[in-house]
Amino acid sequence: MALIPEGKARVGLFVSFQRKGERIAVAALDPKDNLVLETLENFKKRDFKVDVFICSRTSLLRALGEYKKIPLPRKEIVGRIEISTQYLEEFKEKINTIEELRQRLNEVEKKESSFVLEIILAAALKFNASDVHIEPGEKETQIRYRIDGILYDIFLFKRKTYNFLLSRIKLLSSMKINIHDIAQDGRYTISAGGKAMEVRVSVVPGDVGEDIVMRILNPEMILSIDDLGLHPWHKEVLLYEMQKPQGMILTCGPTGSGKTTTLYACLKYITSPEIKVITIENPIEYKLGGIEQTQVEPGKGYDFADALRATLRQDPDVILVGEVRDRETAETAIQAALTGHLVFSTLHTNDAAGIVPRLIEMGASPISIAPAINLAIAQRLLRRVCKKCAKKVIPSKEILLKIEKNLENLPKVAKPNLTNIKIFETQGCLACHNSGYKGRIGIYEMFRITQKIEEAILSYPSISVMRKLAIEEGMITLQQDGLLRVLEGITTVEEVKKVTGPIE
């Protein structure tokens, strides 16, 4: 039976039930099914002689039940899928646009459906997709990639191909194949070109099938401080605050704004044999050398607060807490920062100045917050203009006035030259999938605790009061940092408006 993988057998409704030397006996509900015919052809190419029998549904279901008695192939057990060098080279040399990918997927579905998942993943790596979405419909299934934060429709598969993909992905991810009415999470590993990367999988029941999202955790995405795209003044501030032996460095922003990337870059910068670094995550996204990583399990009574208390007994110098979301975690993290530990974490607020009111709202004491926080960083990701098709233009008078007004109160170190300004507009070409953008860069605002801000914290300030005071103390806002990127020719005014809001 192991000659035909269980996922394929359940989709095609056929099994191999006997083998004598090079002769195989196969039973099928419909011997003319495309998947059955393709499998039989593959057997023949391997010099097997195949006898095909028609069987009843009852007999077939009984036979399928026998799969639980045989061990799975090694790569399925360990949750690993290998993408051949052939596919990687093909995508490197021949597949450069989404339209070319669609043509290749059409060929694969017709002739090599058992390799559909490998092709989908190889293409995702080629186009630097962070996520792969598989969304079933009544007759067809949409495959979408998230590239530079935007979802692109890639291809429509037939329902039968979706069923095969669902079974295969569940097997790889150690999920229960026969459970269809509850959400399941899992992971597996891609081996490609001598490198390994994790894939985090979420399967959620829908009205016409199970929606699948695969997050590709490419270790090459672990950036250095230099790769974050910080302006020199922001980089100087961050490096200065990381040199302190204690205190908190907090990042904030919505999901997908690059918070984890920034924190991992910070850990990568400071990690050395002389210090002990421990991370507390949910889940562990990337494996980092030279540090200890622990994953919380809230359902088993091991949440962020529990993990943080346990970690403090491990004699750490530096701690990363994946998220501060409740009073207990906030207070424990603050106390750790006040007692000789450098603590990194994230908080869900819209801007850097909002971190203080949010911590107070959680129940943290203002008296402790001020001395504990070294730095609060808000961030977003802006798409870069495509260098192959972007067009340089002179901005309209209205846009120019808005840029000048927005940047007039910048500190001297960041003041740009506003004479003879030219900016980019997007066009769209095959290289950027007709979006006008290719790649992304971070924009940041950094909130430091000055004496005036420390005094204000004791009066339980609102977000607006805190933000106004931070700007007066020299903080560069997200929108200002974005507009500086516009003047540098990296992004567009439209992209800054989309990410940070209207430019007043």
The string of pLDDT tens digits covering residues 154-208 is 999 999 899 989 988 998 998 988 889 999 999 999 988 888 899 999 999 999 9
Identify the H or E element spanning 109.
helix 98-111
Residue 419 belongs to some domain of the structure: no
Residue 261 belongs to some domain of the structure: yes
Residue 493 belongs to some domain of the structure: no
Same domain, 446 and 315: yes
**82 pLDDT tier (thresholds 50, 70, 90):** confident
Average pLDDT over residues 45-71: 83
**Which position has the higher pLDDT, 14 or 1?**
14
- Domain edge (last residue) among 53, 70, 87: 70
Q: How far apart are CA 346 and CA 95, in angstroms?
A: 38
**70 pLDDT tier (thresholds 50, 70, 90):** low
Residue 430 belongs to some domain of the structure: no
Asked if the bond preceding 283 is cis, omega within 30° of 0, the reply is yes
What ranges in 373-450 are assigned the alpha helix state H? 397-407
pLDDT of residue 72: 46
Whole-number mean pLDDT of the chain?
Answer: 91
pLDDT tens digits, 341-365: 999 999 989 999 999 999 999 999 9
Q: How far apart are CA 56 and CA 184, in angstroms?
A: 32
Same domain, 369 and 273: yes
Nearest to 60, CA basis, from 33, 38, 42: 33
pLDDT of residue 77: 42
Same domain, 174 and 233: no
Same domain, 90 and 123: yes
User: Which residues have a Cβ under 8 Å from the Cβ of 276 and sit 6 or more positions away?
Assistant: 292, 314, 315, 316, 317, 318
**220 pLDDT tier (thresholds 50, 70, 90):** confident
**Which position has the higher pLDDT, 289 or 362?**
362
Q: How far apart are CA 89 and CA 91, in angstroms?
A: 5
pLDDT of residue 231: 96
Residue 499 belongs to some domain of the structure: no
What ranges in 184-303 are assigned the alpha helix state H? 232-242, 259-270
- Tell me how far the alpha carbon of residue 389 is from its chain's centroid: 27
Residue 228 pLDDT > 70: yes
Tokens of 480: 């200002």
Same domain, 167 and 242: no
Q: How far apart are CA 286 and CA 220, in angstroms?
A: 10
Neighbouring C-beta atoms of residue 6, cutoff 10 Å? 22
pLDDT of residue 44: 85
Read off the CATH number of the domain in which 448 is found. Answer: 3.40.50.300
> Contacts for 213-218 with beta carbons within 8 Å, 24 or more apart?
213/131, 213/132, 213/133, 213/134, 214/131, 214/132, 214/134, 214/169, 215/130, 215/131, 216/121, 216/124, 216/125, 216/129, 216/130, 216/131, 216/132, 216/190, 217/285, 217/286, 218/125
Residue 111 pLDDT > 80: no
Residue 415 belongs to some domain of the structure: no
Read off the CATH number of the domain in which 166 is found. Answer: 3.30.450.90
Same domain, 379 and 338: yes
Same domain, 53 and 95: no
Residue 481 belongs to some domain of the structure: no
SS3 313: coil
Q: How many CA atoms lie within 13 A of 383 on its CB side?
A: 24
pLDDT tens digits, 452-494: 999 999 999 999 999 999 999 999 999 999 999 999 999 999 9
Same domain, 135 and 226: no
Between β-strands 342-347 and 423-425, what pairing exists: parallel, antiparallel or unpaired? Answer: unpaired
Tokens of 169: 């992905």
Q: How far apart are CA 276 and CA 342, in angstroms?
A: 11
Could you tell me the pTM of the whole model?
Answer: 0.81
Residue 110 pLDDT > 90: no
Count of structural domains within the chain? 3
- Domain edge (last residue) among 24, 46, 70: 70
Beta carbons of 500 and 480 less than 8 angstroms apart: no
Average pLDDT over residues 55-70: 83
Least trusted range by pLDDT, from 106-110, 252-256, 286-290, 437-441: 106-110
Owning domain of residue 97:
75-217
Average pLDDT over residues 383-401: 95
Same domain, 283 and 208: no
Same domain, 44 and 80: no
Average pLDDT over residues 139-168: 93
**Which position has the higher pLDDT, 73 or 424?**
424
Residue 490 belongs to some domain of the structure: no
pLDDT of residue 62: 87
Tokens of 231: 């302006």
Same domain, 343 and 227: yes
User: Which residues have a Cβ under 8 Å from the Cβ of 18 and sit 6 or more positions away?
Assistant: 24, 25
pLDDT of residue 114: 66
Average pLDDT over residues 57-79: 68
Residue 76 pLDDT > 60: no
- Domain edge (last residue) among 163, 195, 217: 217
pLDDT of residue 67: 77
Residue 48 pLDDT > 50: yes
Same domain, 341 and 470: yes
Dihedral sign from CA coordinates of 68, 299, 75, 192: positive
**227 pLDDT tier (thresholds 50, 70, 90):** very high
